[in-house]
Amino acid sequence: MNFKPLGKRVLIEREEETKTTASGIIIPDNASKEKPQSGKVVAVSEECECSLKVGDIVMFAKYSGSEIILDDKKYLVLNCEDVLGVVA
Q: Averaging pLDDT over each range in 15-19, 24-28, 51-55, which range is the top one? A: 51-55
pTM for this one? Answer: 0.79
Residues 6 or more apart whose CB falls under 8 angstroms from that of 44 comprise: 5, 10, 11, 52, 53, 54
pLDDT, mean over the chain: 86
Q: What is the C-alpha R_g of the chain?
A: 14
pLDDT at 27 over 90: no
Show the domains of the chain with their CATH numbers. 1-15+36-88 (2.30.33.40)
pLDDT at 69 over 90: yes
CB atoms within 10 A of CB 5: 21
